[in-house]
Structure 1
Amino acid sequence: MNYNSEAEAIDALSATYKEIRTEISKVIVGQDDVVKSVLISIFSNGHCLLVGVPGLAKTLLVQTVANVLDLSFNRIQFTPDLMPSDIIGSEILGDDRNFKFIKGPVFSNIILADEINRTPPKTQAALLEAMQEKSVTAAGVSHQLPKPFFVLATQNPIEQEGTYPLPEAQLDRFMFNVNLDYPSFEEELNIVKNTTGSKVNELKRILNADQINFFQQLIRKIPVSDHVLEYAVKLVAKTRPKGQYATEAVSKYLSWGAGPRASQNLVIGAKCHAAINGKYSPDIEDIQAVAMPILKHRIVRNYKAEAEGLSTEQIIEGLF
């Protein structure tokens, strides 16, 4: 992709983002904030965790995104009997009596980890290296995953019997934690109209893997002013109960705050949020626009907050 300047490339990204949203809206009705978070995660080279009850089109959303972006897609249904080798692959003895590695479903551009909290920690951990290092290791040999690589995991907030909550170490590797809510009456009416007839929507492929890699690198190059950097870091520091910037509410209601990865994700997410809106550098409003889904799974409430019914969202809103 050849552009005369970074500003021209950012303009192209903003126009492309709008085109992608238009294509996705042919299939996905509503859920605007969810779609935006998923796309920001992809362009920021991050991962996304979706939390919502069944039937809210989580699987359809990621399939649609994969189609519009012309990327390979695999769905992994997490179950209690799933083994790590079922995800990353395993070695088998070939006809030539030599072992060869058979790639698992994780070798794809977009991975839908469906109901990730229904599999034991050993299998959940199999995704850790893949999500962080973009590679997997089998029999002492490292295998690089395709680029771009994006994990979209889903969790069902009901029916928690027999589930294995994700440990904080793995939750921290998700850039965004996004809650899906029920559609409005008008949106649900459109959904029923669009899905109960014979019409099939043809989606146009907007970007390929190489173009996405280019835009991921472009976002890294976007400059950020010092006061915006300081705001992002201070916002994260405010979530730490024993830190010097902790507010009274944080010290009273939180056990643990967010780590440095939250600061990194805030800045990268703000850069992307600015770029898709046609801005050449992020400001404080861009930090605030991405802060909620970045911070809410990285802070831990104490018993007092739970007893008083105080949500993590309310605590984070108080930090602004």
Structure 2
Amino acid sequence: MRVLVALGGNAMTAPDGSARPADQRAAVEAAVPALARVVADGHDLVVTHGNGPQVGNLLVKNELAAAVVPPVPLDWCGAQTQGTIGALLLDALDAELGARGLGARVAALVTRTVVDGDDPGFTHPTKPIGRYLPAAEAAVLVEHGQVWADRGERGWRRTVASPEPLEVLDAPAAAALLDAGFVVVCAGGGGIPTVRQQDPDGAERLVGVQAVIDKDLTAALLGRALGVDVLVVATDVDHVMVGFGTPSQRPLGHVTAAQLREHAAAGEFASGSMGPKVEAVCRFVEAGRPRAAITSLGRISEAVAGVAGTVVTAGTHG
């Protein structure tokens, strides 16, 4: 089968959330055995990943240096973190696959994702990112064209657009690498946000924009474009839970997309955590793909086989 695993950005940090270079390298090395097992089971593998902590580090550097050098735009931050995390995964996966006697090689692909330039988030951004700053420090960044909002006692925080992913532009390149036998790392952080613009002479131009894209929604889109059989969203829990934090809390095993959407409509899943993961797996199977799952990193290969995690299909289950 062709399998896509979406790793959370926090999978690339230490357990306490610290993201020093050594922490990130150690976290990636701890994650790759689960990915290598998918290859050892005979499947083609695509890996995508979050980049929130890594972009957060770059934003802090922007803030500290804003009075000296211009801040790096968010699309550049996305590209930089794709390259950095991709390089870490290249080294760690190459070593793990080699130790298992597997001949697969790994390729990392800097990947762009098309969004709508008319998305309302670009004129009225609402997605908060980065840390809180005093008003005076935020004002320096506002002078560079960023949008910051007063959050009261906690200070000011940057807000950006978080548009819907429409097309993974570089999916054909990822497909060619898969067909050539590579394990492919691509579309990190949801992809570099890109819009199509018309030049005065009518020619189309692709331009990076200041936005962040949900990596799980992009994973669903990428999976459909690559003809993926199973999408696994790897997180820090074994199952999706309903009634979370209550005496009636229970894990979900095999469910249909319709059943999962009913739970979502009832407010079971937080918009900033499990909500996008649930939406992504539903979109994937509703588009005609066979199966998706949400589970913990250590159970990825079992989830691929359909025997672990919250396993989602489009139709009846059983």
Q: Which range, TM-score by smaller chain?
A: 0.3 to 0.5
TM-score (norm 1): 0.32
The structure richer in helix per residue is: 1
TM-score (norm 2): 0.33
The structure richer in strand per residue is: 2
